Structure formats: structure tokens, C-alpha cells
Amino acid sequence: MRFSNKISGIKFAGLLVIVVLIFCTLEYTSSNSEKSNSSGSLDEKMRTAKPNENITFVTAGSEFSPIITVTGNPEIQWVFGDGSTSNSTSPTVNFGLRKIRENTLVVTPWSAVTKINIGYDGADGGVTPGSDTIENLEQQDVIAVTGLENVAPYLQIWASSYNPITSLDFSNFTALHTIECFYCTSLNTIRLRNVPYLTRLCLENCNISELDLSEAPSLADLRGASQNNQTYTINWGTTGANIWHICVRDNPQMTSLLPVSQFPLIEDFFVWNGNQSGTLHLTSTNLKSVISFNNQYTAANLSGCFPAGGECTVNLYDNDLTSLDISNDPGLFYLNVSRNSLNQTAVDGILQTLDSYKTSGGYVDLTENAAPSRTGVAHASNLTAREWKVQSS
């Protein structure tokens, strides 16, 4: 009898728990329904949106102050890692402590977004449409970004300099013309598939191992110096017709040679300490500066690259040059080919060619090659008389 009463008591207690749970569930649902009705619909949609409907910036800092540029009057909704929100194009949130947080953005319509800036200071300048309109902004400690595909057809400028971001995917960004990733030292992957209008790409001091430019036909300004990765390969494909500036200096680990024949309009060729070899043969008549010392070039042909009226520079010291063609280059005023393997005939030929231009006030350094003959010395004297500074072995 006592056992039966005990069982009945347990059943009653269990039933009571179920009733309480049902009541709490109904109360919670009612409360949430009231909150949903009282809050803005866009805010609620933002909080329940699928990941691919947002752009999510994962940050590791104590604050976040991004800048976006939009056209028209779109709806903007930021939801930050502390739960606060904003509808500003340049919000600021102070979290107080450094911590990894997810900050999400929805813009309706996404087609209004033309620029995203999470870090820029103009430290590596260049002349590219729109680049001079990027606001200076301290890096925002962004370590990852997802959902960028939402703005792929519309974004024109991306700036994330100095951020510890590790990868970026700009596939099918068909309006993008400028990418600024200066000193993103953790950036090891960047995808550039179908970027027909990309003109400026700044990846100085990053961690890139493979850079594929084959689908960036409009590229004009490449800055990819000093990669921290142990390998660095550039796939140009047929890209190069619009290139005016190349800087891939200080990459002795680089495993690819630059296809210089694809650069008919090049003005600045900065490839020192870049593991380049063979013959350097440039043909652009727009050339202003060739700085490619500390490589393994065995020959250089720059004939016709420096027409009269310019004051152009060639710095090819510390290579393995046995020949140098500077014929038809009266605009060449600075030439340093010291520490090469030029014999006396080659040295004499350089001095004779420079003398034939009858220009004044230039500089030529031929030290640590063969000494000039009497003929070469005579040409050097003529240059000196016209205020050239001549240095030879």
C-alpha cells in the first residue's frame, strides 16, 4: 500500500513538471513574439539571416570602426559582436576588451555598396582611378571576412591594409578596380578570378605563395614586394598590356620569371633581389626607371627605351651581365652596372654610346667590371667635360 502511494506521488510530480514546462514555453514564445513586433523588421531579419546573406567581419580587437561607401539611400544594418547595432556608413563600437568577435553587415540593396575600407594610409602610392578617394583609417584587427560574394558585382574599391586577415576571395568581382592590402603580413591566399577591371593591386609585405593574375587583363599597377612566404609564384597568363608599374622587389624566393615582353607600356620596373635571370629585354618607350640589381641577369637589351627628353634611370649592379645594349637611348642619364662581368669591349662600348648622345650632367658607374681601354678612357673624359660623373675600374 505504501509502495502504491509512492508510485502515485511520482506520477503526480512528473505531471506537474510537464505542465510547468509547457507554461514556460508558451510564456517564452509570447515574450519573443512581443519583442519581434516591437523591434524593427530589418534588425530582426538581420539577426536571423543566413550566413551567406551577410558580410561578416571577424575581429580580434577592442573596437571596430569600418567605413563603407554607398550610392543612393539604402538600408544599412550593422550588428556588432557585443549585440549593439548601427545603420551608419562609418560606425564606431568600443568593446572594451580585445576578443574575437563576429560583426555582421546587411545592406539593402547590396548593389549600393561601392567601397569597403577597414584599413588604409596611402603609404604605397599610385595613380589609379578612385585610389585617392580612400579615407585614411587605422587597421581594424580583422582576421577573416565571409559573405563578400554579396557585393561581387558592385564593389569598386577594397582596402584592408595592415589587418591580420589570412585570405580573400574576389572571384567574379566584375566592377572592382582597386585592392589595397599593404602590410597584410598574414595574407597568404588571394583569389582573382574574373576581375576584368582590376587596375591596381597592392600586396606589399604580405605572405602570398601563389598569385594568379591571368584573369585580370586590365591590371596596370602591381605592388607585390617582400612576400614572407618561402615560395612566391606569379602566373601572368596573357596579362600585361596595360601595366605601367611593377614592383616585386626583395623576393629572392620567387620561382617565376617576369614575362617582360608582355609589358609594352611599362614605366617603372622594380625587381631588385628578385631571383631573375637570363636576358632582360624591355621594349617600352615609356620607361623611366629600371631598378633590378642583385639578380642573375646575363644580358640586358634596353635599346630604344629612353628617347630624348627624359632623364631616365637604369640600375643593374650586382648581376652577371656580359653585355648591355643602350643604343638609341639619349634619355638615359643614370646608369649603374657595377659589379657585373662586362669585358673591356663592353665597357668601351657603353662609354662610347653615352658619349655619342652629347648630353650633360649624367652619372655612370662601371666599377668592378673590366677597365676601359684608352679609347674608353677618352670617351669617359668627354663625358666628364660635359659634367657627367664617370666611375670605372
pTM of the model: 0.86
pLDDT of residue 124: 87
Q: Which residues contact 309 (CB under 8 A, 6 or more apart)?
A: 331
pLDDT of residue 50: 55
Domain boundaries, the chain: 55-275, 299-392
**What are the φ and ψ backbone dihedral angles of 111, each rounded to 5 degrees?**
-65, -10
CATH class in words for 55-275: alpha beta
pLDDT of residue 132: 57
Torsion of CA 384, 361, 244, 320, to 10 degrees: 20
Q: Which residues of the chain have pLDDT under 50?
A: 1-49, 127, 129-131
pLDDT of residue 126: 53
pLDDT of residue 133: 84
Residue-wise pLDDT for 177-224, tens only, equals 999 999 999 999 999 999 999 999 999 999 999 999 999 999 999 999
